[in-house]
Amino acid sequence: MSSVAIALGSLLLMLLLIYAGLHVAITLGVLSFIGVWLIRDDVTVAANLLAQAVSDSVASHVFGVVPLFVLTGFLVAHADVGKDAFEVAHQAFRRIRGGLGVATVAANAVFAAITGISIASAAVFTRVAVPQMLRFGYQPRFAVGVVAGSSVLGMLIPPSLLMILYGFLSNQSVGDLFTAGILPGLLLALAYALLILLMAHLRPEMVYLKAPTGQEDDQPLMPMPLGEMLRKLLPVVLLIGSVLGGIYAGLFTATEAGAVGAAMALAVALLRRKLSWRGFWGVLTETGHVTVAVSFLIICANIYTRMLAMSGTPQALVAWMAAAGFGVAVFLLIYILLILLLGTVIDSSSILLIVLPLMLPVAEQFGLNLIWFGVITVVAVEIGLLTPPFGLSAYVVKSTLGNTVPLSLGDIFRGTAPFTLTMLAVLLLLVAFPSLSLALLR
């Protein structure tokens, strides 16, 4: 059996095992180990390669960016920064029809610029925004759709955990990826806001339980004094300015920015008296769980990448595409469809670790800009958070709601459908116009 046949056979077996429920990291590690063993016909080579992959994958200070930004996200969630951002946005958009939905998108965009974790955004704004939207007469399905849909901004607007992971796998600058994600993230937030406004004016029955009266609601909302608004926004400005401002000004690296963000988030949580010793221990434990899970995935993906390179599969794939007359457009179409398909059953990080080792060499052979390729990869992967049956954001919204709102998972997925289609349209725009991602890097 040829090396390419062994590698392709392992890919098919991998998909079957993952669909059957085996953990992605274990599947990657075991099949890659067996693949190297068969290709080289030497179990010692496979064992040595596995040991080297463990050392090379995470034995670098650069990897410290993962636990630091995860820690920042959990601390910010505990400090109620998302709640404050939502309250200020609510004040700003309260007189617009559909304004509370727009406020949720705006607050999620701000929260994304601090945390970089979509699941955290979904959990926070389910608690904060959904009760308010229900109070002001919104359709429950629309309310949860807005929250789940806008939660994906957490992985696109920097800092982004997925972009950090892509940077490790592609050997690209995390700072450049963060910069490239700004305009696409703002474009997606704007597209969501326009979608909500159009729905509120053209299809109000999808947004409201009763016909709107021309204002956001019939219930009075006490105006918030300017001083209070500034006080609520100050931690947001300080966190975004210190983390992203420091990176873009060249004051420190992405890893150092993670440390600064974690320190600032801890200070905000302590000053607001939102963090007890028990709560702090819980934050550290959650950070450890996420970091270990990501580390295990990266280690197993590293040997998988080496197995594919050893087999020559990427080069064979390029040669096959050239012989078939496939160009860049067909490659991108196949790539995006594969990610969307995997997104129905696998989480975001696992998709990156499965697909990128095979597709990155092909993208390089086609001469594609890997920073732009990373942006469209993250957007495509994030669509999977909203698509059934495995849309993780929908599950987080459902579990956070509990029994307080009588909605099924099907209702939540139907509520996210307009936002999923909007995200797909934005993805096509980013594919057609790479300058939308690369403008700030020039």
DSSP string covering 207-224, please? HBSS---SSS-SS--PPP
In this prediction, residue 62 carries a pLDDT of 61
The pTM score is 0.80
Residue 368's pLDDT is 92
Among positive and negative, which fits the CA dihedral 10, 14, 16, 21? Answer: positive
Arithmetic mean of pLDDT, 118-130: 79
**The predicted structure's pLDDT at residue 113:** 77
Integer-rounded Cα Rg, in Å, for the chain is: 22
The residue with tokens 């899970």 is: 293
- Given a cut of 70, whether residue 85 has pLDDT beyond it is yes
402 vs 156, residue with greater confidence: 156
Higher pLDDT, 290 or 180: 180
In whole angstroms, give the CA distance from residue 175 to residue 180: 9
pLDDT at 219 over 70: no
Contact 111, 98 (CB under 8 A): no
Confidence of residue 350 (pLDDT cuts 50, 70, 90): confident
Indicate the range of 25-39, 99-113, 140-154, 388-402 predicted with least confidence: 388-402
Cα dihedral 361/362/368/369 (nearest 10):
-30
Winning range, highest mean pLDDT, from 2-11, 291-300, 372-381: 372-381
Q: Which of 3-7, 48-52, 278-282, 431-435 has the highest mean pLDDT?
A: 431-435
Instruction: Give yes or no for a contact between 247 and 178, defined as CB atoms under 8 angstroms apart.
Output: yes
pLDDT at 215 over 50: no
State whether residue 273 is helix, strand or coil: coil
Confidence (pLDDT) at 221: 55
Give the span between the Cα atoms of 405 and 330, in whole angstroms.
44
Neighbours of 269 (CB within 10 A): 24
Query: What is the spatial distance between Cα 91 and Cα 229, in angstroms, rounded to a whole number?
Result: 9
Work out the number of other CB atoms within 10 angstroms of the CB of residue 442: 5
**253 dihedral zone (left: phi>0; alpha: psi -120 to 50; beta):** beta
Specify the pLDDT at position 254. 72
* CA atoms of 100 and 217, how far apart (whole Å): 9
Q: Which of 3-7, 45-49, 283-287, 372-376 ranks highest by mean pLDDT? A: 372-376
The full 3-state SS of 79-109, as one line of letters, equals CCHHHHHHHHHHHHHCCCCCHHHHHHHHHHH
Report how far residue 170's alpha carbon sits from residue 149's, in angstroms, rounded to the nearest whole number. Answer: 28
State mean pLDDT over 311-336: 80
Report the SS3 class of residue 403.
Answer: coil
Q: Domain spans of the chain?
A: 3-441
Question: Rounded to an integer, what distance in angstroms lies between the CA atom of residue 347 and that of residue 119?
Answer: 11
**C-beta separation of 329 from 139 below 8 A:** no
User: What sign for the dihedral angle of Cα 33, 34, 39, 41?
Assistant: positive
